[in-house]
């Protein structure tokens, strides 16, 4: 840990020197995040919390469903959401972008994936596309496993089941949680049973599973994905320093997978995991703090370095 801290100090010392600015309004001190309960969003929100606290802010996180998160941003009860998966959330966010109550200010992750999967042994048996599920309904016990109610992926699966062209009549969507769905998937795969479930990348557990993403998703929103940062309308004008940090935040698949693994495999706290990752990967911080100060206009790099000692 001592060597990691030395690296952190060195990296932060090389950060862009930022001139002091006047403090942001007191109303900006509290930064309110929506967290929809997915592990990837928990850790990216967690790492942002750690940074903001070091800079003198008071982040607050509320666990909300996707629809409630967007409604809360429109009502100005939530400031930030780091989990806008696109294009699958197109229908969820569209009303709020149309009335200009929610803004997209950055892409924080590229190269992600999202969709329905089956175990590789099921794909090897001939189930490789969406329409292959129907004839094998009994093998799947007529079930497709999703995650929490209100999730965009569940909505897409429900629409697929309702569309006669997909031949999924008689299937039901089983809504659960990320952990509950993974438990069901791992149990089925251990017993070599057939199962279809919602999966995404990055994910340390799903990434290790031998699974096959089904083809034939059409324009559903499943497939290659990017993740965007949303804020309530006008937030970056009101709180430009936080806005600059949020615009700077860029993650990658390996980074998120490394932070997610302790949470999913060991039950670690997402925020603490994110803090440990920051201490071990000091170079990641430098571009995030470019043009950013503390809440009162001080040196952001120095403040974060001191907080992580």
What is the reported pLDDT for 204?
86
What is the reported pLDDT for 272?
95
Q: Is the peptide bond before 252 cis (omega within 30 degrees of 0)?
A: no
Task: Tell me which long-range contacts 158-164 makes (C-beta under 8 A, separation of at least 24).
Answer: 159/220, 160/130, 160/220
Q: Which two tokens stand for residue 273?
A: 């995991």
CA separation for the pair 137, 68 (Å, rounded): 33
What is the reported pLDDT for 135?
97
190-210 as b/e, with b when 16 or more CB fall inside 10 Å? eeeebbbbbbbbbbbbbeebe
Which residue, chain included where needed, has tokens 């699974």?
A: 211
For 38, 83, 151, 254, 262, the CA distances from 203, given in Å and listed in that order, are 10, 14, 17, 9, 11
What is the reported pLDDT for 68?
96
> pTM here?
0.82
Sign of the C-alpha dihedral computed for residues 89, 71, 41 and 230 taken in this order = positive
3-state SS assignment for residue 221:
coil
Q: Which of 296, 288, 297, 294 is nearest to 15 (CA)?
A: 288
For 109, which DSSP code? E
Mean pLDDT by 10 residues, the chain (309 residues): 48 46 83 95 97 97 96 98 95 97 97 93 96 97 95 94 96 95 96 96 87 91 93 97 97 92 92 94 92 96 92
Q: Are strands 102-119 and 172-174 parallel, antiparallel or unpaired?
A: unpaired
What is the reported pLDDT for 8?
52
What is the reported pLDDT for 224?
84
């Amino acid at each position: 840990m001592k060597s990691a801290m030395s690296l952190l100090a060195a990296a932060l010392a090389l950060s862009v020197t930022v001139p002091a600015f006047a403090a942001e309004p007191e109303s900006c001190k509290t930064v309110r995040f929506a967290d929809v309960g997915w592990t990837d969003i928990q850790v990216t929100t967690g790492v942002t919390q750690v940074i903001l606290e070091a800079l003198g802010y008071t982040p607050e996180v509320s666990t909300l469903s996707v629809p409630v998160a967007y409604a809360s941003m429109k009502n100005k009860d939530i400031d930030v959401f780091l989990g806008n998966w696109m294009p699958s959330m197109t229908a969820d966010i569209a009303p709020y972008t149309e009335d200009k109550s929610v803004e997209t200010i950055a892409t924080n992750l590229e190269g992600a994936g999202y969709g329905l999967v089956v175990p590789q042994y099921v794909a090897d048996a001939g189930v490789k596309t969406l329409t292959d599920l129907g004839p094998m309904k009994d093998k799947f016990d007529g079930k497709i496993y999703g995650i929490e109610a209100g999730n965009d992926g569940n909505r897409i699966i429900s629409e697929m089941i309702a569309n006669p062209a997909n031949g999924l009549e008689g299937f039901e969507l089983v809504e659960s949680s990320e952990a509950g769905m993974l438990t069901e998937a791992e149990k089925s795969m251990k017993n070599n049973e057939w199962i279809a479930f919602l999966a995404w990348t990055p994910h340390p557990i799903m990434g290790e599973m031998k699974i096959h993403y089904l083809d034939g998703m059409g324009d559903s929103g499943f497939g290659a994905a990017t993740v965007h940062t949303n804020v309530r309308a006008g937030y970056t004008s009101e709180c430009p320093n936080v806005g600059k940090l949020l615009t700077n935040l860029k993650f990658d698949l390996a980074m998120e997978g490394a932070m997610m693994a302790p949470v999913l495999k060991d039950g670690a706290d997402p925020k603490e995991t994110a803090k440990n990752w920051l201490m071990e990967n000091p170079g990641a911080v430098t571009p995030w703090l470019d043009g950013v100060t503390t809440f009162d206009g001080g040196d952001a790099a120095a403040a974060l370095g001191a907080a992580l000692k």
